[in-house]
Amino acid sequence: MQAELARVPEADVSLRMPEVGSKGEWAVGLAMLVQLSLNGLALGLLYALPAFGIALIYNATGLFNYSQGDLLTLGGYLMLTVFGVWHLPYPIAVLVVLGATLALGYAMGSIYFFPMLIQKFGPSVILIGTVALSVAIVNAVLLLWGPMAKSYENVFGNKAFQFGDMYIMPHVFWIFGIVAVLVILLQYLFTKTITGLAMRAVAQNYVAAQLMGIKVNQIIPLTIALSTVLAAISGILITPIQPLTPQLGGLLATKAFASVLIGGMGSMSGALVGGAIVGISETLIATLVTPTYKDVFTFLVVVSFLLFRPGGIFRRIEVEKV
C-alpha cells in the first residue's frame, strides 16, 4: 500500500519531462492501451471473417460449421506452400489459395452439407460430422506440414511505425484496409448481384426461394464456398500475428463462434463488432490480467450473452409461431 502511494508523486514529476522512457506511467500506459487495442482490433477483424462465414452458413442451412476454424488454418498452410515454398508473387499466391479454397468449399457444400440437408438428417448428426471434418483437416495438416509451428516472410514489412510511444506493425493497417475492402465487396455482392440476392433469399426462406426458381442445390454450396474463402483470407492474414500450428483452428473456431454470438447472426456488422470485442478484450486481458485464463473469460462472456441477450448485440427479433 505504501509503495503504491510513493509512486504517484514520482509519476507526476516525470510527466513534465517528455523524454522517452521517463514519461509518466499513465501516459505510457495509455499509449500501451491504444497499441494493444489496435493489435486486438486487427486480430478481432480476423475472427470476424470466419465468424461472418459461420453466420452465412447458419442463415442458409440452420447449421453451425465447426470446421470453420480449421478451414482457416488450411488457408494459411496453403499460402505457406504457395507463397513461402513455391515463391509465387504474393497477389498471385493469394488468388491461387482463394481459388483452391473456393473449390474445396463448393465441393464440401455439394457433397456433404446439401445432400444431408435434403435427406433431412438431424442437425445434431450433421454437426457431429463437421467435428469429424475438423479432426480430419487437423490431421491432414499434421501429416502434410508436420507438427511444428510455421511461419513465412511477412510481406507487409517488419518495421513498426512509431506514433509517440506507440509502435504499430504495418500488417495491422493492412488488415484494417483489406477487411474494409472486403466488407464493401460483400455488401455489393449481397445487395447488387443476382447471386447475392439468391443467397439472401435462401437464407430467409428456403422453400419459398426454391419455388421462385432459385437453384438451391447451387446456392447452398456457393454460400459454404464463400464462407470457406472468408476463413481462408483470415488464415492468409493471420500469419504475421500468429505462427501456424495444426491445432490453431480449434481455438480460432471458438473465437469465431464467440464473435458471431456476441455480435449477432443477422449481419456483417454483427460479426465485425463481435470480432472486435473478442479480439480487443482478449488482448487486453492477456496482457493486463492473466494470459492463462483469457479464453475462459471469452467463453464466460459468450455464455452470458447467450443467456441474457440471445441473438447478440445486433439481434434480429424472431417471433416463433405456433
Partner 1 sequence: MRLGNFLRKNALAVIALVLVIFPLTSPPDYQFYIVERSLQNAILAIGLVILLGYTGPLSLGHAGLLATGAYTYGILATKAHWPLWLAFLAAPVVAGVIGLALGFPSLRLKGPFLMVVTIAFGEIVRIVALNEEELTGGPYGLQGIPRLINNDLGVYYLMVAATMLVAIATLRLHRSRIGLALLSIKEDPLVTGVMGVDVSNYKVMAFVLSAALAGLSGAFFAMLTRYLNPDSFTILDSATYLLMVVLGGMDSVVGAILASGVVTALPEILRFMERARLLVYAIILLLVIWGPSTGVYKKLEDRFGRKSVVAPGVKLVDRG
Half-sphere CA count of 37, side-chain side, radius 13 A: 7
* Cell numbers placing 54: 459461420
CA distance between the termini of the chain:
62
* Cell numbers placing 96: 491461387
Closer CB to partner 1, 25 or 295, in the complex: 295
Compute the least distance from the CB of residue 205 to partner 1, in Å.
11
Residue 205 phi/psi, 5-degree rounding, is: -150, 105
Q: What single-letter amino acid sits at 11?
A: A
Q: Classify 168 as helix, strand or coil.
A: strand
Compute the least distance from the CB of residue 52 to partner 1, in Å.
16
Closer CB to partner 1, 58 or 90, in the complex: 58
Q: Quick check: 141 and 235 in contact, CB under 8 A?
A: no
d(CA 201, CA 206): 7
Closer CB to partner 1, 246 or 279, in the complex: 246
Q: Classify 140 as helix, strand or coil.
A: helix
Closer CB to partner 1, 5 or 307, in the complex: 307
Packing angle between helix 170-192 and helix 216-238, nearest 10 degrees?
170
Closer CB to partner 1, 116 or 197, in the complex: 116
The DSSP bridge partners found for residue 167 are: 162
Compute the least distance from the CB of residue 56 to partner 1, in Å.
14
Q: Classify 161 as helix, strand or coil.
A: strand
Residues that bind partner 1 (CB under 8 A): 58, 62-64, 111-112, 115-116, 119-129, 131-133, 135-136, 139-140, 142-143, 250, 254, 257, 261, 292-293, 295-296, 299-300, 302-303, 306-307, 310, 322
* Long-range contacts (CB closer than 8 Å, 24 or more residues apart) made by 99-102: 101/71, 101/74, 101/75, 101/228, 101/229, 101/231, 101/232, 102/225, 102/228, 102/229
Q: Classify 166 as helix, strand or coil.
A: strand
Closer CB to partner 1, 17 or 303, in the complex: 303
Residue 88 phi/psi, 5-degree rounding, is: -70, 155
Compute the least distance from the CB of residue 299 to partner 1, in Å.
4
Compute the least distance from the CB of residue 166 to partner 1, in Å.
31
Closer CB to partner 1, 180 or 306, in the complex: 306
Cα–Cα–Cα angle for 53, 56, 61, rounded to 5 degrees: 125
Compute the least distance from the CB of residue 255 to partner 1, in Å.
11
Compute the least distance from the CB of residue 291 to partner 1, in Å.
10
Closer CB to partner 1, 58 or 173, in the complex: 58
Compute the least distance from the CB of residue 256 to partner 1, in Å.
11
